[in-house]
A and B are shown apart, each in its own frame.
Chain A
Amino acid sequence: MKANSTVVSEGKQNEGKFQSTVLYVKQHWQLYVIFLLPALVLTLIFKYIPMGGILIAFQEYNPFRGILGSEWVGFKYFQRFLSSPDFMTYLGNTLKLSIYGLLWGFPMPILLAFLLNRIESTGIKKKIQLVLYMPNFISVIVLCGIVRIFLSVTGPVNLLFGSQINFMTMPEAFRTIYIASGIWQGAGWASIMYTASLSNASQDLKEAALIDGANIFQQIKAVEWPAIKDMVVIQFILQAGNIMSVGFEKAYALQTDLNMGTSEIIATYVYKKGLLDGDYSFSTAVGLFNTVINVILLVAVNKIVAKMNDGKGL
């Protein structure tokens, strides 16, 4: 009897819950139809339908027959990519470009923020920030255009040193060019988040540290680091988790026929194979491989950082 009555009451509860949900949706239909629906429709069409399109990676895709009519080939294209001699080169190029980029690029904005934070005069600080943010508003094309002009055989860098080195054709120079120009363009802008966090540092701690006569390293450890730690963790997870999605636009714009040995990354390869050669299925397989590794990396980095950071990840 007792058991029976709990079942009944649970059923009633569920029914009540359902009814209240229906009532809520009826009362607040505007929230669903006017506010959320447009974004939801765009997401479903432009994000989820292409996810379904991934199926062509497992097919001999024929545009005239479509996804439904094309022949299934299993993991053929993945095998073709993984066993091709280029695979290790492109994977290595992608990983090296973004890992070195992260190692060099990640600390710079933090360093800039610490330095900016110690400038007493707000007027000077604002002016410096104005300059530091400026390169962020230059487009990738213009940035790469500038890099190409400056490093060309007749460009200012060679004029300055009286040399005639064509940097853009040197595979060994590509990564340095890519990463250095990235720091030049992005470090200032990326420092905003850290300067903003630093401005929220505890005033009490700051004063206590000054009274104790703490030196700069001690101050950073006691006052400034705690203020930006969470931000550093979030940024690190996001960037380390995106290692495989290193930007197509810049790598492609800095590519020349001769530096391909280091500049051909998976993203540029996917574009060339897919849209220039029309090898749809193969290109999709390579792209999917890239995305999956990226997701795995993101989850792994998040776990590792969370472990080091007392269980706090994303």
Chain B
Amino acid sequence: MKKKSKFARYSTQDKALLLTGYILLGLFVIAIIIPMIYIVVASFMDPVTLQNKGITFDFDKWTLTAYQRVMSNAQIWIGFKNAVVYSIVFTVVSVFLTLLAAYPMSRADFKGKGFFNTIFVITMFFGGGLIPTYLLMSNLHLLDSMWAIILPGAFSVWNMIIARTYYQGIPGELREAADVDGANEMVFFFKILIPVCTPVIAVLALWQFVAMWNSYFDAMIYLRDSAKQPLQLVLRSILIQNQPESGMISDMQSTAERAQLAELLKYATIIISSLPLLVMYPFFQKYFDSGIMAGSVKG
């Protein structure tokens, strides 16, 4: 009842305005859901029907062919394994480094804060660019090594600012209590500070994981060996370059059949590769607001 009365309080003009707004919001939501449903349904279709008629809800004719073919492909699994390793290593290294560096930068008494801050912030707006970075990697013999895609982005200034702002929001009594006990910096940091920073750690970890999982540029440049390529590069050859892994469609006789099958396989590939993150992220949703607000305070 209460909710109804609140909407009733709006004037006719406001109601019309709100309704228009909600319709727009509804359309936006539908525009997100429909393509996703289409992809899911299409991935179960028979390749010929899919090409001629699009999706049908004729459940008898649905098949798992696409999934069987994609899942039985070795390169997809290699890509998956690499992506998992790179993303986890990157997340751990990056979040740890960032949390560490943010601590002195958050302290009012830290000497040299302004100087270090300048050094860090400059890198947010100015950089060497593609070729100088590539040449450095080459000189460090990091080509075809996973560290080439992990180390350059491991320390994120932006995330450091977010963590720093979060630390600064923590009551000073915690610090004073620790000083009384004579705790040193390390003990204070690991035993007292870190445990109360779960929301911001969760958000930073999610961001870094997603960023590494979804990126392809660095891997495309630095990792040429196909045994080291992450999932996104495998996806790139299937989805963007139209070059399905050879084993997937080679048993088909005609070119037309191969093309139809390749099209079908794209749908299953999209589902299989996107599922892990789409399933994972709702569990982090409760941290979004608090974690992101922490970072939104002016840096």
Q: How far is the CB of B86 from the nearest CB of chain A, in Å?
A: 13
Cα distance A144–B53 in the bound complex, in angstroms:
23
Task: Enumerate chain B residues within 8 angstroms of A230, measured Cβ to Cβ.
Answer: 298
Please encode chain B, from 110 to 137, with 1 for each CB lying within 8 Å of some chain A CB and 0 for all others.
1110001001100101111111111110
Please encode chain A, from 138 to 149, with 1 for each CB lying within 8 Å of some chain B CB and 0 for all others.
111110111011
Which of A1-53 touch B at CB < 8 Å? 21, 24-25, 28, 30-32, 34-36, 38-40, 42-43, 45-53
Q: Are A291 and B296 in contact (CB under 8 A)?
A: no
Task: Enumerate chain A residues within 8 angstroms of B9, measured Cβ to Cβ.
Answer: 210
**In this assembly, does B92 line the interface, its C-beta being within 8 Å of a C-beta of chain A?**
no
Category for how many chain B residues contact A? 35 or more
Cα distance A156–B253 in the bound complex, in angstroms:
26
Task: Enumerate chain A residues within 8 angstroms of B221, measured Cβ to Cβ.
Answer: 275
Q: Are A121 and B3 in contact (CB under 8 A)?
A: yes
Which of B217-262 touch A at CB < 8 Å? 217, 221, 232, 235-236, 238-240
Cα distance A34–B210 in the bound complex, in angstroms:
28
**In this assembly, does A294 line the interface, its C-beta being within 8 Å of a C-beta of chain B?**
yes
Q: Are B54 and A156 in contact (CB under 8 A)?
A: yes
Neighbour of B216 across the interface among A28, A140, A234, CB < 8 A: A140
User: Smallest CB-CB separation from B99: which chain A residue?
Assistant: A35
Task: Enumerate chain A residues within 8 angstroms of B213, measured Cβ to Cβ.
Answer: 139
Q: Are B184 and A274 in contact (CB under 8 A)?
A: no
Q: Are A35 and B185 in contact (CB under 8 A)?
A: yes
**In this assembly, does A159 line the interface, its C-beta being within 8 Å of a C-beta of chain B?**
yes
Cα distance A110–B241 in the bound complex, in angstroms:
36
**In this assembly, does B155 line the interface, its C-beta being within 8 Å of a C-beta of chain A?**
yes
**In this assembly, does A227 line the interface, its C-beta being within 8 Å of a C-beta of chain B?**
no
Task: Enumerate chain A residues within 8 angstroms of B155, measured Cβ to Cβ.
Answer: 38-39, 42-43
Task: Enumerate chain B residues within 8 angstroms of A58, measured Cβ to Cβ.
Answer: none
Q: Are B35 and A270 in contact (CB under 8 A)?
A: no
**In this assembly, does B14 line the interface, its C-beta being within 8 Å of a C-beta of chain A?**
yes
Task: Enumerate chain B residues within 8 angstroms of A47, measured Cβ to Cβ.
Answer: 123, 127-128, 152
**In this assembly, does B194 line the interface, its C-beta being within 8 Å of a C-beta of chain A?**
no
Q: Are A115 and B24 in contact (CB under 8 A)?
A: yes
Cα distance A51–B122 in the bound complex, in angstroms:
11
Q: Are A51 and B126 in contact (CB under 8 A)?
A: yes
Task: Say what secondary structure dominates the interface of chain A.
Answer: helix
Q: Are A131 and B32 in contact (CB under 8 A)?
A: yes
Q: Are A154 and B51 in contact (CB under 8 A)?
A: yes
Q: Contacts A42-B97, A291-B127 given: A137-B32 contact, CB under 8 Å?
A: no
Please encode chain B, from 267 to 299, with 1 for each CB lying within 8 Å of some chain A CB and 0 for all others.
101100110011001100100110011001010
Cα distance A53–B134 in the bound complex, in angstroms:
10
**In this assembly, does A298 line the interface, its C-beta being within 8 Å of a C-beta of chain B?**
yes
Q: Are B240 and A139 in contact (CB under 8 A)?
A: no
Q: Are B240 and A35 in contact (CB under 8 A)?
A: no
Cα distance A223–B105 in the bound complex, in angstroms:
34
**In this assembly, does B78 line the interface, its C-beta being within 8 Å of a C-beta of chain A?**
no
Neighbour of B127 across the interface among A21, A50, A159, CB < 8 A: A50
Q: Are A39 and B132 in contact (CB under 8 A)?
A: no
Q: Contacts A31-B185, A43-B155, A141-B236 given: A149-B131 contact, CB under 8 Å?
A: no
Please encode chain B, from 171 to 200, with 1 for each CB lying within 8 Å of some chain A CB and 0 for all others.
000000000000011100100000000000
Q: Contacts A42-B155, A184-B31, A253-B240 given: A197-B296 contact, CB under 8 Å?
A: yes
Task: Enumerate chain B residues within 8 angstroms of A225, measured Cβ to Cβ.
Answer: none
Q: Are A142 and B270 in contact (CB under 8 A)?
A: yes
Beyond the given A137-B214, A295-B126, could you list 19 further A-B residue pairs with CB under 8 A, ordered by the A residue number?
A31-B110, A46-B133, A50-B135, A52-B128, A56-B131, A111-B24, A118-B18, A120-B7, A132-B32, A141-B236, A149-B263, A156-B38, A188-B32, A215-B14, A216-B10, A249-B215, A270-B131, A284-B132, A291-B127
Query: What are 23 A-B pairs with beta-carbon distances under 8 A?
Result: A34-B185, A36-B105, A42-B152, A42-B154, A45-B151, A46-B151, A50-B136, A112-B28, A120-B7, A131-B33, A137-B210, A137-B274, A140-B214, A141-B214, A141-B240, A142-B235, A144-B240, A156-B55, A188-B28, A196-B293, A274-B134, A284-B130, A284-B131
